[in-house]
Amino acid sequence: MGRSGRTALLDRLPGLKRKYLLDFIVVNVENAAGGFGVTAKIAEDFIDAGADVMTTGNHAYDQRDEVEIFDVETRLLRPVNFPTSNPGRGSGVYQTRDGRSVLVAHAQGQHGMPSCDDPFAAIDRELAGAVLGQDVDAVIIDFHAEATSEKNAMGVHLDGRASLVVGTHTHIPTADDRILPRGTGYITDLGMSGDYDSIIGMEKSEPMRRFTTKMPGGRFAPAAGEATICGVMIVANDRTGLADAIAPIRLGGCLSETAPSI
């Protein structure tokens, strides 16, 4: 979220990759450029820092003069249930350094979000030709949605068919990281990497003005204080691709820290 979150993650990601021997890293970058969208330079910076794939969300195209990066950079995804004519793609199969295959698919929810196609049917289509444990070694789903119920439903829908289902969009980390009954790792929302002394990553004054007066007074600006890095790690089973372990990570800033022990 903005320069604060972006800089914190870029600084720490290479060390986290070495410390935890991470095989595959997905970063959601939809708020990376001033809180709205992503640029080609920022995408390149995250790849250089260790990201294997980048997802986005409803702000995917906010940097309107750079939307062509979605056609050029195959490691940058927009929601798969956007119109098929839109720039870019919503899923892909990628290789780890030791040759294992990972399907990453990205969808946007319908409740309280801009209009889009059915995310459940869209994800089903992506998984039809990439069966976990047969066609691919791991499946990671980023479900970018407002309603916790809709994100919870996606986890249930994909239980046993994905290694990991993560919710994004609401910028607040949830405490429900767990392995679902059929073996899929799940968390309702990863939270943002950004300054939490804010209103979901924005400087407080303008959101407060709009809440209390119903009148805009200026533009939203990302908060610039020390960021907390938020995310989740899993260990996927080498045979089935399902999750053997899952743990959240929170580092720095004003949230309580937690470091994975998996």
Query: What would the pLDDT profile of 54-76 be if each residue is shown by its tens digit?
Result: 999 999 999 999 999 999 999 99
Is the Cβ–Cβ distance between 103 and 130 less than 8 Å? yes
| Residues taking part in catalysis | 59
Residue among 91, 76, 182 at smallest CA distance from 139: 91
Query: What would the pLDDT profile of 152-204 be if each residue is shown by its tens digit?
Result: 999 999 999 999 999 999 999 999 999 999 999 999 999 999 999 999 999 99
| Rounded average pLDDT over 95-114 | 97
| Rounded average pLDDT over 4-22 | 97
Hey, where are the domains in the chain?
Answer: 2-251
| Rounded average pLDDT over 211-218 | 94
Mention the CATH class of domain 2-251.
alpha beta
Contacts of 154 by beta carbon, 8 Å cutoff, 6+ apart: 107, 109, 119, 120, 123, 141, 143, 145, 165, 167
Residue among 119, 52, 111 at smallest CA distance from 82: 119
Task: Quote the pLDDT of residue 262.
Answer: 87
DSSP β-bridge partners for residue 222:
202
| Rounded average pLDDT over 102-118 | 97
Report the predicted TM-score, pTM, of the whole model to 2 decimal places.
Answer: 0.97
